[in-house]
Amino acid sequence: MVRKLEHGKLVAATHNAGKVKELKALFEPLGFSVVSAIELNLPEPEETEPTFVGNAILKARAAAEATGEPALSDDSGLAVEALGGAPGIFSARWAGEPRDFYAAMDKVRLELELTGSTDYSAKFVCVLAICWPDGHAEAFEGEVKGHLEFPPRGDKGFGYDPIFVAEGETITFGEMEPERKHAMSHRADAFKKMKTWLDQIS
């Protein structure tokens, strides 16, 4: 059975204001009215799954069940080659509470120095998941490859953006204008795959 996603209200199941802004920029031009978990005062579920896909579906399902509306979630993170893919699904947790991504970026730098590796290659991974109130879910994974540079540069974007330079670029995501980042990011890659699916079912 083909699952339709009607234009209208879509709950963004995230408490990250930076992600909310990017999701609104991606989905509102398609005719969706994006309202965030922050605006709805939804509790933030504990991310207990071992993969980006699992955690994305978990968050979307919790929001869909709580609101009775289709919910969209994003689970994303930084995977560093020399650190065996860490911080990965624990990217936000490396920033602690309250979230301090400058501390998290410094932790990445220190961990890399401990390895003695000169390989600073890394990628951002993003999974976008849509879940309906009945529990049905669809998930789409995207990534952008690049490398890390220290010290952090730029105050645009969020998270680990100030240390990530995408392949073919010379500036960090933290220095990049949002429109340019949105065109090449891991979130944009996942969104393109989701949009292809939306076009097929519409």
Q: Which residues are catalytic?
A: 75
How far is residue 134 from each of residues 49, 57, 71, 94, 131, measured CA to CA in Å? 20, 13, 11, 33, 8
Q: How far apart are the first and last CA of the chain?
A: 14
Virtual torsion, Cα 49, 54, 60, 62, nearest 10 deg:
-40
Q: Is the dihedral of CA 18, 31, 141, 11 positive or negative?
A: positive
